[in-house]
Structure 1
Amino acid sequence: MEKSANDLKIDYIEFTVADIEAAKDFYGSAFGWSFTDYGSSYCEFNDGRLAGGFTNIQPPRPGGGPLVILYADKLEEALDKVERAGGTIAKPIADFPGGRRFHFLDKDGYELAVWSKS
């Protein structure tokens, strides 16, 4: 399989929010973002250039900040690279609507995720 243009690049960001409707109201009013709802616990936003999501599955992160999500053509290989580089797997590979992903902590404790369509 040929490597895609998005392989191992930042692809998506995700905000954990207390209230999805309030987040939509704020970002829609302030910046004109558009939204696509996926049930009561997830909403995708698009700012016209970058897509991301709001979720209320977990409480908001202490200190705030989005979850940065990278894309990988081969998810298992990306997980292996993260571990070999010294990262810690915070959430193992799991399915979600649209693909699979895992979360990891870098050496400074930042949590990021990597997803794949397959």
Structure 2
Amino acid sequence: MQSKEPTLGNGKICYLQIPAADIKKSADFYKAAFGWNIRHRTDGVTAFDDGVGEVSGAWVLNRPPSTTVGVLTYIMVDDIHATIELILANGGAIVQPIGGDAPEVTARFSDPYGNVFGVYQQGE
């Protein structure tokens, strides 16, 4: 990943807290499936930067997973089919296959703790 400063601006989504039961397992999952940069902050928190260095966040304990769709965050991917293989190989599950939001190329998955996110591929 190229090192750069994130875009700053009013209204930008910039930080996510993702519930986890096992932070290392969750960090390993997102690194393997999406190439996220994993960091260990000086306060002891395991944090991440997304694949393009624009959104950061951390995993949090003692919070229930987001298992139902309310606000749904989508992660952009280059190859949705390859990403689904990585999700499955690293402990995630597909909860809505490709085609559920047609004509958009999306799928929904749950991470190892049960949090539901979407994946989105621009065109196909």
Specify which structure has the higher proportion of strand: 1
Shorter-chain TM-score tier: 0.3 to 0.5
Structure-2-length-normalised TM-score: 0.42
Structure-1-length-normalised TM-score: 0.44
